Each structure stands twice: as C-alpha cells, then as structure tokens.
Amino acid sequence: MTEQPVIEVHDLRVSLGTDDGNIEAVAGISFRVREGETLALVGESGAGKSVTSLAIMRLLQAGEGSKAVGIGGRILFRDRDAGTIDLLGLQPEAMRRMRGHDLAMIFQEPMTCLNPVMRVGDQIAEAVLAHEKVSSRTAMTRAIDMLRLVGIPDPASRSRVFPHELSGGMRQRVMIAMALACQPRLLIADEPTTALDVTVQAQVLDLIRRLQREFSMGVLFITHDLGVVAQIADRVAVMYAGRIVEEAPVEDLFAHPLHPYTRGLLASVPDATQAGNIVQPIPGSMPALSHLPQGCSFQPRCHAALAGRCEREAPPAIAAGCRSVHCWLHAA
C-alpha cells in the first residue's frame, strides 16, 4: 500500500440555515484517506456524515426550509499527476469534470444515480463518454467489462435491461460499475449496503474491497453499522454532533476504544462471539444541532463526564501515535 493521501480534509465546516436557525452540521473536522485505504466514518443518524460526503463532492444544496449553505476549510485532492487541488476553490464546471472521473460516490438507494428509463449498459457507457475521448463502441465495451467485473452474470445481455428488471443487489452492483467505470482515485460510499440483506451486503462489501485493491482507490466508507466497519475499514473516524471525536486504526478502536461515545457504540452492538453478552444502549439521544450543550457535546449522555470541565469547555484533540481522541478524560 502506498502512503500518498488521495484526499486531505482540513477543518471542514458546513453551516446550514434551517427553520430552527443556523446549524453547524459539520463543525471543523479533519481527516485524510490514502491510496488503497478505507476510512470508515461512523456515528448515529444526524451526526453529519452525509453532509460531509456531499460537501466533498460539492453536491450540497439548500434543502427544504434551508436558507444558506456555508462551507469553510480545505479539501485537498491529489490528482493523477500528483498535483494538489482544493476542491472548495474549483469552478463548478471543473468540479463537474472531476465528479465521476476522479471522485465518485455511491449511495444507499441506487435509483438516486440510475436513470429508470435508460438501459444500464447505456448509462455506464454514457458515464465513460462524459469523461473520456473514446468511441461509443469502446465505451460500451467498457460498460460490459465493468458489469462483468462487478459480478453480473451474462453481462452483454444484461447490459440491455432497465434498472427495474434487476434485483436490489444487482442494481447496487450496476451503480458500483458506473461509479468505477472511469477508475476514480477516491470512492465515497454513503451507507451503500444498509438496505441490503446480510448475504448480499457481504457480497457487495467483498466487491468494493476487491475493486479497491485492483484500482488502489481510497475509499471513504460511511456507515452507522460497526459490523460493516469491522469488515471493511483500515481506519475509523467516529463522528458525533458534527465533530470527529475519535480516530484510530480499526483493530485499536475495537480493542481499546478511548472516547466514552465510542465505548457506548461498541457496547450497544450484540457481539455474536460472546453468548450472553449484555447489550447496553447509550442513554439519551444526540442533541439537536440548534441546541448543542455547553462544553463537550456528548457530556449530557456521558457516564464519565467530569463535573465542571466537561460541562464548560469543548475538549481538545489529544493525539497519541496514529490515533486521536477529543475528550477531557484523556487530557494530561
């Protein structure tokens, strides 16, 4: 595995105007993904994971009732010629050229990217033609190759079907084929297997891992499922209320979680290897971003909160080796 980062996110901030006032959905997060590496971004629903991925893709739009989108920080992307580009500084047209070519994204629901009235082979070929100067015949050959690569049986004839003629798992494979048709350097996967049953989920995770090795892609894998994290990640960043509260190599995180929130997440999943293991959900729920508590955002739910300190001041980042944690319990 080479050590070159494909993407480095520095102090990313995303503010959204909602009916409840302005919220900081992403409140200054930093991370990097290297070539051939999978970073999992985990956390409860509403933590800011999807907003982070959409900010990187520059796909963030003001939603229903949303008034303004402000994005700050830097998103440094290393392109094929080893030049570094700040995606936040790109003109919309230049960003459009990078999307699907240098960075690609897959979602939970394949129909968000598939066109229901176009044959799947044509869709993949069109994605290739949008970015590469090749003939339509070459593009279609590539489309069929991609369908074969993602494990679709009889790809030449399947290339002529419409998305609704395929099962959910097969549609997911088509979406992956389309995302990877131009061999992007970074793949962002936002809960891509959440809607699939466990057998199909395992197949899709295997597929992503295999293609990642083949193309030495960086993968930012977003999920709330720690079982999936264990299967796919090299490193893990745990997100809570718009911040990364802990980051570590996957084995270290599972063996020695440092942040009380990470410990809570791990204690709230049933462990199949330990019969009789008691599942303890984290008490309470994530606060509304419009009404964040003083001090550490996790403090009202934290069994280990220090009276005074944790309630007053946001914790600093404490780094040790290849991991980091934002928590007063670990401050010297």
- Note the residues at the interface with ligand ADP (CB under 6 A): 16, 18, 25, 43, 45-51, 62-63, 66, 289
3-state SS assignment for residue 318 = strand
Report the DSSP pairing between strands 218-223 and 69-78: unpaired
Q: Which is nearer to Mg ion, 44 or 126 (CB)?
A: 44
Residue 168 site contact among ligand ADP, Mg ion, none (CB < 5 to 8 Å, cut-off depends on kind)? none
Query: In this structure, are residues 142 and 128 in contact, taking their beta carbons and an 8 Å threshold?
Result: yes
Q: Which is nearer to ligand ADP, 41 or 174 (CB)?
A: 41
Q: Which residues pair with 13 in a beta bridge?
A: 27, 72
Q: Which is nearer to Mg ion, 54 or 120 (CB)?
A: 54
Instruction: Provide, rounded to whole angstroms, the least separation between the CB of residue 14 and ligand ADP.
Output: 8
Q: Which is nearer to Mg ion, 50 or 231 (CB)?
A: 50
Q: Is 53 in the site for Mg ion (CB under 5 A)?
A: no
Strand order in the sheet with 69-78: 21-34, 5-18, 69-78, 84-86
Closest CA to 24 of 243, 330, 317: 243
Residue 285 site contact among Mg ion, ligand ADP, none (CB < 5 to 8 Å, cut-off depends on kind)? none
Q: Which residues pair with 32 in a beta bridge?
A: 8
Helices of type H across 6-104: 49-56, 92-98
Segment near Mg ion (CB under 5 A); pick from 42-50, 60-68, 202-210, 292-300: 42-50
Q: Which is nearer to ligand ADP, 125 or 265 (CB)?
A: 265
Instruction: Provide, rounded to whole angstroms, the least separation between the CB of residue 50 and Mg ion.
Output: 3
Closest CA to 76 of 131, 15, 25, 5: 5
Residue 46 site contact among Mg ion, ligand ADP, none (CB < 5 to 8 Å, cut-off depends on kind)? ligand ADP
| 100 Ramachandran zone, left/alpha/beta (phi>0; psi -120 to 50) | left
Residues near 275 by beta carbon (within 8 Å), at least 6 away in sequence: none
Instruction: Provide, rounded to whole angstroms, the least separation between the CB of residue 2 and Mg ion.
Output: 30
Distance, in Å, from the CA atom of 289 to the CA atom of 275, rounded to the nearest integer, reads: 37
Report the DSSP pairing between strands 84-86 and 69-78: antiparallel
Instruction: Provide, rounded to whole angstroms, the least separation between the CB of residue 187 and Mg ion.
Output: 16
Residue 28 site contact among Mg ion, ligand ADP, none (CB < 5 to 8 Å, cut-off depends on kind)? none
Q: Is 50 in the site for Mg ion (CB under 5 A)?
A: yes
Instruction: Provide, rounded to whole angstroms, the least separation between the CB of residue 5 and ligand ADP.
Output: 23
Name residue 218's amino acid: G
Instruction: Provide, rounded to whole angstroms, the least separation between the CB of residue 71 and ligand ADP.
Output: 12
Q: Is 193 in the site for Mg ion (CB under 5 A)?
A: no
Instruction: Provide, rounded to whole angstroms, the least separation between the CB of residue 143 and Mg ion.
Output: 29
Distance, in Å, from the CA atom of 189 to the CA atom of 176, rounded to the nearest integer, reads: 9
Residue 262 site contact among ligand ADP, Mg ion, none (CB < 5 to 8 Å, cut-off depends on kind)? none
Which residues contribute to the site for Mg ion (CB under 5 A)?
49-50
